[in-house]
Amino acid sequence: MTRKERYQYILDYFRAKEGHATTELQFSSAFQLLCATLLSAQCTDKRINEVTPELFRRYPTAEAMAAAEPDEVLEYVRSVSYPNAKSRYLVEMARMLVDKFEGKVPDTTEELVKLPGVGRKTANVIQAVWYGKATLAVDTHVYRVSHRLGLVPMEANTPYKVEQYLLKNIPEHDVADAHHWILLHGRYICKSARPMCEKCPFDSFCPKLLENSKLD
């Protein structure tokens, strides 16, 4: 099976079986999505969804969070990974939104990555989920599954290279959904340590079956 055929089969499957897909994070505004995505780095969405209801009740807007101190926000996010750094980023990010963007979340990569704690992955999530743009965030799941299923070559050895390769091969109208299709496949089926190959609809042509191929 060629790489082009892999894309065709996998995308056709997801379109038919999954349809429109979006983040599992819970939010009600662009600001809340930005906070939740920032907090979700190296942490599960389930944990973030347990933390954010109280956080957002106390700090529902950028203006409210900008008026807080990091140690105050820390009380709400202690159970997430790297809570000290993330609480600081949240406050600094909120203050920049108020000072530079009138409290509104920008919609371009160039402006989003200026915000403290916001990298390209987070910027792409905001643009795709909130603004409906054809951006594709590459997290650990997307990176892993893209390689395991042979969607990208071994030379695509950075998240940015994977992103660019996927964008060249996924139709623009599928890009935002494809991020979540691949991510959720990695989260629930093609897991890092113990992939559930017996439940995978792509197992029959997984590269692991090829000579000298192995999961990585």
Query: Is 199 among the catalytic positions?
Result: no
From the list 113, 132, 131, the residue with the least C-alpha distance to 172 is 132
Q: For residue 119, with 0-12 CB atoms within 10 Å meaning exposed, 13-18 middle and 19 or more buried, which class applies?
A: middle
DSSP assignment string, 164-195:
HHHHHHS-GGGHHHHHHHHHHHHHHTS-SSS-
Return the structure tokens found at 44.
């599960």
Return the structure tokens found at 150.
């042979």
R_g of the chain computed on alpha carbons: 18
Query: Is 121 among the catalytic positions?
Result: yes
Q: Are 81 and 43 in contact (CB under 8 A)?
A: yes
> Measured between alpha carbons, how far is 105 from 127 in angstroms, rounded to an integer?
10
> Measured between alpha carbons, how far is 135 from 124 in angstroms, rounded to an integer?
5
61: helix, strand or coil: coil
Among 114, 133, 139, 174, the active-site one is 139
Q: Residues with catalytic annotation?
A: 121, 139
